[in-house]
Chain A
Amino acid sequence: MFIRKDDKISTSQAAIYLNNSILGAGILAFPRFGVQSVGTPDVWMSLLLSGMIAMMSVLIMVKLSQQFPGRTVFQYAKKIAGSPIGAVIGFIMVMYFMLIAGYELRVFAEVTLFYLLEGTPVWAIVIPFIWVATYLVHGGINSIARLYQIIIPASILILILSFGLSVRLFDINHLRPVLSEGVMPVLSGLKSMMLLFAGCEMTMVLVAHMDDPKQAAKAMVYGTSLPLILYLITIIVVIGGMSADSVMRSTWPTLDLLRSFETAGLLLERFEFPFIVIWMMQLFCNFCSFYYGASLGITQLFGAKLRPVILGITPLLYIIALMPKRINDLFGMGTFIGFTGVGLFLVLPILLSAVYIIRRKGLKQNVQ
């Protein structure tokens, strides 16, 4: 049994890492956002399109990161855009990572408190969660990736199993007619579906940690397609099982789908509970990704040591998680994060790439 000292991750680990950064709390509520913004059952098309767009931007990020082997965005943004602007970009990304980590944490706490542990104080759920995450993140990206490898099969299995059992509710007519009002609703749905892929800017951190950065494009495309496929299954099963009219009125439609049936004769009668419990681990992964990303960012921006930073930002994460006063604030925070995310993973890589190309090709500067 060898223990790696260099804290690098393999190609498949990188793919799973990216997958776990994208796949998080969104799955619980996104069918509602989708139906609300699209207005027809064609949400899955918007989702598919958003996935494609996200994948392209991931490829741009990979190309950009490959120009700076072993360096993360926090380091190469400074090289490309100059120290002050680069620092600002890095700082925004750190803030964003922390915000998203806090958001995942809070969604997890809300769902658990509402359906599972009514009456438990919120800190009793949030604080142990942060502690365990702190312990994991201390181990570095390699330990995180190895935990992800253990968790991802379990969460995919339970997701597919729960959805499989809901098949009896499925009615294809709920998904018809296709494109009844043309493509405009599908395009207007892009806005809310893009938010689901917030988290893929983690690519700009991951490539630097890869064993074999040449494989980065492959790994990152896999890492984006897996969540895309799982989201697609979710939206089809949820709308097909509940009808768009019903999804529109449900706070957590994915959970409501699982609450809409009881399985007699199986070991378990109700599948929302195992689903919430297993998805808890998935949210934990998601949280750890961003927690690590934020710590790493601070370390590289300010030249600090990693471990004190990891410990140091725990109170911040706790405060961010408990910031939303009501559930509307939480959903508002989700939308804000989504838009920031879209900005970061759509606009930022293109801008950075453009500046890089102009400086390299146009001005013949040495940008390293």
Chain B
Amino acid sequence: MFNRGIYAALLAAAVLMTQTGCWSSNEIEDLSLYAGLAIDKGMVPSVEKGMKEKGGAYDKKNLVTITTQVIPTKTGGSKGQQGGQQGQSGQTASNQYYNTSETGDSVIQIIRQFAIRRDRPFIGHHLKVIIVSHDILKSIGMEKLMDFVLRDNDIRPSCLVLLSEGKAKDTLDISQVPGDIPAFHLKGMIRNRYRTNKVLPKVTLTNLDGLINSKRSFVLQNVITEKGQIQFSGAGIIKGSDGKWIGNLNQEDVEAISWIKGNSRSGTLKYYANSSEPVIYEIKSVKSVITAKADGEDVSFHVRIESDGRMAENWKSGADPSKIAFQEEAKLRFEEDLRRKLDHLMNRLQKEYKAEVVGFGDKLKIQHPKLWKKMKHRWDEIFADVPVTFEIKLNISDFGSSLQ
């Protein structure tokens, strides 16, 4: 019996050892979570210039400037006017985030550099969005810029990637909604695909990894900023061969891409009656079938788009949208509008940029794998001369809750 008592005591003592908690735990209060990361062309911020004069430099080239968005800031304000208290009555205009920029030539060195500038070390677990400016993508390819974030163990590959027309850091410093965190704002905006087909399907780091590896051109959603306001506008084309930015598509081009892919869940078409009275068609559903035809080495595509929609708005005076005759006429005009958008897109892709970003290549790959294998290495050039025909069938299935 005595023996058993000793064993029990030893066991109890051993169990105690497991009660000490996590070995390498970090209290979340002691960490800086960054939710947004903006990558810009190297520009030395004034703080850094000042620091450098006092000897705060290391061996680096000023290739990229990284701006991180840290949330939440300490209550009480960490950067004078920018930090502030939130949630207290009446104080809605203060920000909950804190942006810091640092310049260098390696993403990880720059991020680790914040450790000698801030009291709480950075942790990437909650990075939601990465914004890359066109400017840096003109000189450095996507693959290099994204290398670290794809390798890191903290940053999740569910993080979104966007492009920015102007400085990427400005997109993280917006004042659209008071108390809003720009990184979350951007992440939320990408969900609005069900309201408009001007938003491209989201591209996460995982998707981007595949796109980069496939060496094919692709598009990423563009963000523009003006006076602290932000907007998704069109898309930037990344050339597959070197991962560099070569140009932009506008909002209507993005709509056209959504039409061709048949993945838009919402969106509009419009024509002007009597030159100034808009009539609007709203998408209820879109279906598209892309057929790749191969005749020896000659490839052509036929796109059949079918859409169901609603007479959503009518300014035309004296017209009755509930009449079949009116709908039939409107339908033709809507098809015209869609055709115009499609032609504009094809012109841009085939003549101007010589980059195939819609996904015709995927269709060729699936429908004619042998041909694709031969063509994939210079697909962008081949595509520039490939004929693409469209067949559009719109159907106005209802006119809403008003007759006239």
Contact = CB atoms under 8 A, between A and B. Distances in A.
Real complex partners, A and B? yes
Interface of A: 114-115, 117-121, 124, 169, 173, 176-177, 180-181, 242-246, 248-250, 256-257, 259-262, 270
Contact of B158 (A246, A248, A259): A259
B288 to A, nearest CB: 14
B209 A246 contact: yes
12 contacts: A117-B22, A117-B23, A118-B153, A169-B206, A176-B366, A177-B369, A242-B210, A244-B210, A245-B209, A249-B213, A260-B158, A260-B204
Contacts of A114: 153
B74 interface: no
Contact of A120 (B23, B206, B211, B369): B23
A245 B150 CA distance: 14
Nearest to A176: B366
A270 B366 contact: no
Nearest to B211: A245
A177 B368 CA distance: 9
B362 interface: yes
Interface string B40-81: 000000000000000000000000000000000000000000
Contacts of A173: 362, 366
Contacts of B206: 169, 242, 246, 256-257, 259-260
Contacts of B339: none
Given A246-B207, A262-B158, 6 more contacts: A120-B24, A176-B366, A246-B209, A259-B158, A259-B206, A260-B205
B373 interface: yes
Nearest to A118: B24
Most chain-A Cβ atoms within 10 A of its Cβ — which of B150, B157, B206, B366?
B206
B153 A261 contact: no
Given A246-B206, A246-B213, A248-B213, A119 B369 contact: no
A115 B156 CA distance: 10
A250 B23 contact: no
A260 B158 CA distance: 4
A245 B209 CA distance: 8
Contacts of B373: 180-181
A245 B214 contact: yes
Contacts of B367: 177
Nearest to A257: B206
B365 interface: yes
Given A114-B153, A259-B156, A249 B209 contact: yes
A262 to B, nearest CB: 5
In the complex, the 5 A-B pairs of residues with the closest C-beta atoms, listed nearest first: A246-B210, A119-B24, A180-B369, A245-B210, A245-B213
A177 B157 CA distance: 26
Contacts of B366: 173, 176-177
A12 B157 CA distance: 40
Chain A CB within 10 A, most for which of B23, B209, B213, B373? B209
Interface in B179-235: 204-207, 209-211, 213-214
Nearest to B216: A245
Contacts of A250: 209
Q: How large is the interface on B (under 10, 10 to 19, 20 to 34, 35 or more residues)?
A: 20 to 34
Interface string B338-376: 000000000000000000000000100111011011000
Contact of A117 (B24, B158, B209): B24
B210 A119 contact: no
A173 B210 CA distance: 13
A249 B149 CA distance: 13
A259 B157 contact: yes
B158 A261 contact: yes
A314 B207 CA distance: 43
A115 B205 CA distance: 17
Nearest to A117: B24
B213 A177 contact: no
A256 B157 contact: yes
Contacts of B370: 180
A245 B207 CA distance: 9
Contacts of A118: 24, 153
Nearest to B359: A173
Interface string B118-159: 000000000000000000000000000000001001001110
Contacts of B204: 260-261
A141 B376 CA distance: 55
Contacts of B211: 245
Contact of A124 (B23, B205, B362): B23
A250 B209 CA distance: 9
Contacts of B23: 117, 119-121, 124
Contact of B153 (A115, A124, A248): A115
Nearest to A180: B369
Contacts of A115: 153
Count chain B CB atoms within 10 A of each CB in A117, A119, A245 and give the residue with the most: A245
A293 to B, nearest CB: 28
A359 to B, nearest CB: 52
B215 to A, nearest CB: 9
Nearest to A262: B158
Contacts of A259: 156-158, 206
A138 B214 CA distance: 52
Nearest to A121: B23
B360 to A, nearest CB: 13
A243 B157 contact: no
A114 to B, nearest CB: 5
A308 to B, nearest CB: 20
Contacts of B22: 117
A246 B203 CA distance: 13
A4 B369 CA distance: 60
A253 B182 CA distance: 31
A332 B136 CA distance: 39
Contacts of A242: 206, 210
